[in-house]
């Protein structure tokens, strides 16, 4: 039984370890109702389950105006210092504007990652126009969080993601959603082969014992905590890790220690 069973089943926050959510969003989305997508609401939910820090990217960045979206992100980060951190949204169809946005956003030291959404922007991860974005990430040793989904996604499926990650070993790559609800086994295969790939647990429909599988087959040090908040209530994601049949140190690593190894949240944006 997990050391957190009683607290989780009582609905109490986990307050004796650091929880860092590396995969969250902000604001409205065209395709669904999000009742608590504003920064203040997100902070309240973070407090309820013990999430100390959240890295968010703006939903408007994938289908409409990524400049406005990044402005919303920067406002949220500045309004909630030390709790909300930013992932700058870019779009390969607009390479020059994306570089302008990267330079603008990373003037704010609490912007710590880059977010790309190939399916949303309809720009393949291996599009040549992405290269200067990748160069920016490589120079600063940044994580790039890339949305990956099922095999039929022509813009950002797991194999395409892995191919780009392998070609750019100078970048830390987060496989967003680990390829979707049926992608876990292949995600592990790819991450074993390519050491700069990290897996992300943000999912709405999850395979049973996915956390245990990732830890056993890959190791907890390459698994990152994410919730997809506010698309998904973060509390079940806390339960998935908090109740998993893994060691306490594995839990510590997934919840926040892995993120801490690569991002200086309280000092400068990146190592």
268 vs 96 pLDDT, higher one: 96
For the chain, how many residues are written? 271
Give pLDDT, residue 29. 85
**Is residue 38 predicted with pLDDT exceeding 60?**
yes
- Contacting residues for 227 by C-beta, under 8 A, at least 6 apart: 21, 23, 24, 51, 202, 234, 237
Lowest mean pLDDT among 32-41, 195-204, 207-216: 32-41
Give pLDDT, residue 155. 96
Q: What is the DSSP letter of 244?
A: S
Q: Please, where are the H alpha helices in the chain?
A: 5-9, 39-49, 60-63, 66-79, 95-105, 118-121, 131-140, 158-167, 184-193, 210-217, 234-242, 248-252, 258-262
The structure tokens 């801490």 sit at: 260
pLDDT digits (tens, 9 = 90+) for 245-262: 999 999 999 999 999 999
CATH class of 5-262: alpha beta
Give pLDDT, residue 52. 97
243 within 8 A of 114, measured Cβ to Cβ? no
Mean per-residue pLDDT over the chain, rounded:
94
101 vs 151 pLDDT, higher one: 101
**Is residue 271 predicted with pLDDT exceeding 90?**
no
**Is residue 103 predicted with pLDDT exceeding 90?**
yes
**Is residue 241 predicted with pLDDT exceeding 90?**
yes
In the chain, count of helices (H) and strands (E)? 13, 8
184 vs 31 pLDDT, higher one: 184
Tell me the average pLDDT across 41-54.
96
Tell me the average pLDDT across 140-153.
92
- A 10 A CB-CB count for 1 gives 7
| Percent of the chain surpassing pLDDT 90 | 86
């Amino acid at each position: 039984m997990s050391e957190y069973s009683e607290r989780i089943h009582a609905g109490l926050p986990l307050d004796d370890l650091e929880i860092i959510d590396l995969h969250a969003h902000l604001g409205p989305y065209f395709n669904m109702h999000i009742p608590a997508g504003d920064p203040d609401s997100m902070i309240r939910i973070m407090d309820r389950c013990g999430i100390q820090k959240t890295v968010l990217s703006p939903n408007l960045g994938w289908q409409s105006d990524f400049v406005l979206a990044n402005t919303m992100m920067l406002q949220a980060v500045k309004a909630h210092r030390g709790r909300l951190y930013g992932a700058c949204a870019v779009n390969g169809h607009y390479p020059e504007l994306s570089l302008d946005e990267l330079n603008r956003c990373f003037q704010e030291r609490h912007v710590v990652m880059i977010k790309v959404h190939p399916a949303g922007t309809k720009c393949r991860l291996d599009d040549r126009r992405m290269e200067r974005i990748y160069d920016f990430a490589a120079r600063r040793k940044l994580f790039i969080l890339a949305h990956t989904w099922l095999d039929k996604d022509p813009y950002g499926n797991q194999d395409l993601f892995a191919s780009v990650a392998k070609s750019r070993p100078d970048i830390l790559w987060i496989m967003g959603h680990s390829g979707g609800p049926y992608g876990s086994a292949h995600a592990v295969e790819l991450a074993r082969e390519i050491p700069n790939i990290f897996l992300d647990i943000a999912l709405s429909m999850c395979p049973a014992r996915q956390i245990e599988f990732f830890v056993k087959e890959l190791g907890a040090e390459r698994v990152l905590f994410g919730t997809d908040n506010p698309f998904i209530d973060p509390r079940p994601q806390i339960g998935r890790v908090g109740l998993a049949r893994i060691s306490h140190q594995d839990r510590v690593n997934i919840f926040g220690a892995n993120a801490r190894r690569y991002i200086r949240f309280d000092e400068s944006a990146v190592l």
